[in-house]
Chain A
Amino acid sequence: MNCVQFQEIVHDLARDAGLDQPARRDALAHADSCPRCDELLSESQTLTAALRSLAAKDGALGASERVEEALIGAFRQQHSAAAHSNRPWQWGLASVAGLAALVLLSVLVLRHPVVSPPTHGNGASATPSGAAVAPESAASSQQPDASVESAANANSNFSDADTEYASAFVALPFNGETAPVGDEVVVRESLSPAALANLGLPVSEANAGENVLADFVVDEDGTPRAVRLVE
């Protein structure tokens, strides 16, 4: 090994890194025989020792606890935000379910058309759908699957003089459930004020002395499901 070759590896030799044993042995042999290279090695070893002292002195240094606290806060915030950003799929799922329910409801309504209520006479019966009732004349001619449009056309045959006004159907609470359980009919009855009161319907001074017309949704087993008042 000559001096140029030695100077190329002197720092590796001083750091005791990056040299295999034969190269190290050759380098040390050259330093023993060359005072200038020996001095270079000595300087480099001094530098290595000084750098290691510096590393050891600063070895306990680290970031303050404030940094750790800030980072943990940021970590929690990041994952909290990530949890929130994962929720849209849940909302999407709920929206799809709601839409499906709406479509199902629409299909049911179309299968059992909703018609406005003008009817004639007592004891009229029709095929109801939930809280709606078909007029007597229409009920006798419509099939259960008839459309709303055809029912509306049927209604257009009534004159203004024939128009009736009815309240919305009110579920009768003592029957447990209000949902239809099979084929139902609407039965019109004339009720006395006492009967009205027994059903829990309001009796005013105006109707206290006379009977009132009422439509009952009656299940196929005869159980009344809902009632409405008709004028």
Chain B
Amino acid sequence: MDWLSGHSEDDLVRQMLAGDEGAFVRVYRRWQAPIYRFALRMSGNRSIAEDVTQEVFMSLIRDGGRFDPALGSLSGYLFGIARNHVRKRYDRDRFLVPFVENPIADVHSNGHNSRNGNGVHPSIVVAPIDLGRGETIAMVRDAVLSLPGHYREVVVLCDLQEMSYEEAALVLECAVGTVRSRLHRARTLLTEKLSELQSPESKAAAGGMRQ
């Protein structure tokens, strides 16, 4: 917690609300990247991720007084705001394009969704993040994006953001047991999906190796 430089999160937020720009910049620089990545992994769109990040910190500037350290950490508070903004984007876009109830069922064996070609909500365009590191990472990213929202968010929070069940439960405003069961189901779906996404060649290779 060296970013706090001996202050508590509460102190830092209080300084920020009193007009200390340095305190605001410290909070922003500590949490903007995790918030951005959360929004990016939830939406698959860099522009939406930037908008959500901006909205989260605008909310902190305007209504930071609502943060109560007794109710949870600052990160939980910020992720909670981010989650609400991501959901708002979905609700808004849903009026334009029907929401995919079971995107996994629409995925073809080549790893692409019949609706927009990448297994993602049709209103979202996946940003061309560098795929040079390997096909597997790209497949995992697409698989995560194709999960239903309430499963996707637990995977993003617990597996990609490495939050504990308790922290995720605070962000999602649900019981720890709910987080655990959703994550279990989400990972089962992901495993099935990644198995489907495996190319016929690799499946054959895997079969040959077993023989």
Contacts and interface: CB of A to CB of B under 8 A. Distances in A.
B57 A58 contact: no
Given A51-B140, A62-B36, A44 B187 contact: yes
Interface stretch (B19-27, B85-93, B106-114): B19-27
Interface stretch (B6-14, B70-78, B94-102, B157-165): B157-165
Given A51-B155, A54-B137, A58-B37, A70 B54 contact: yes
A80 B29 CA distance: 22
Contacts of B32: 62-63, 67-68
B25 A53 contact: no
23 contacts: A11-B183, A44-B191, A47-B187, A47-B191, A53-B136, A53-B137, A53-B140, A54-B141, A54-B160, A57-B130, A57-B133, A58-B37, A58-B40, A58-B41, A58-B129, A58-B160, A61-B36, A61-B40, A62-B36, A63-B54, A66-B50, A75-B21, A82-B19
B7 to A, nearest CB: 18
A195 B54 CA distance: 80
A57 B158 CA distance: 17
Nearest to B183: A11
A64 interface: yes
Interface string A43-83: 11001101111110111111110111011101110110011
B194 A71 contact: no
A15 interface: yes
Given A50-B136, A51-B159, A68-B32, A75 B37 contact: no
Contact of B57 (A12, A50, A71): A71
Contacts of A61: 33, 36-37, 40, 129
A18 B21 contact: no
A38 to B, nearest CB: 14
A17 interface: yes
Contacts of A205: none
B111 to A, nearest CB: 14
A16 to B, nearest CB: 12
Nearest to A66: B50
Interface in B55-89: 57-58, 61-62
Of the four ranges (under 10, 10 to 19, 20 to 34, 35 or more), the interface on chain B belongs to 35 or more
A160 interface: no
Counting chain B CB atoms within 10 Å of each CB, the highest count among A18, A50, A60 belongs to: A50
Contacts of B133: 53, 57
B50 A67 contact: yes
A162 interface: no
B160 A63 contact: no
B190 interface: yes
A8 interface: yes
A51 B158 CA distance: 10
B159 to A, nearest CB: 4
B54 A55 contact: no
Contact of B58 (A52, A59, A71, A83): A71
Contacts of B184: 8, 11
A78 B140 contact: no
B187 A50 contact: no
B49 A63 contact: yes
A47 to B, nearest CB: 5
Given A47-B191, A58-B129, A72-B21, A17 B61 contact: no
Interface string B131-169: 001101100110010000000000100111110110000
Nearest to A70: B54
Given A47-B187, A58-B41, 20 more contacts: A17-B165, A18-B165, A47-B194, A50-B136, A51-B155, A53-B140, A54-B160, A55-B159, A55-B161, A58-B40, A61-B36, A62-B33, A63-B36, A63-B50, A71-B54, A71-B57, A71-B58, A72-B21, A72-B25, A82-B19
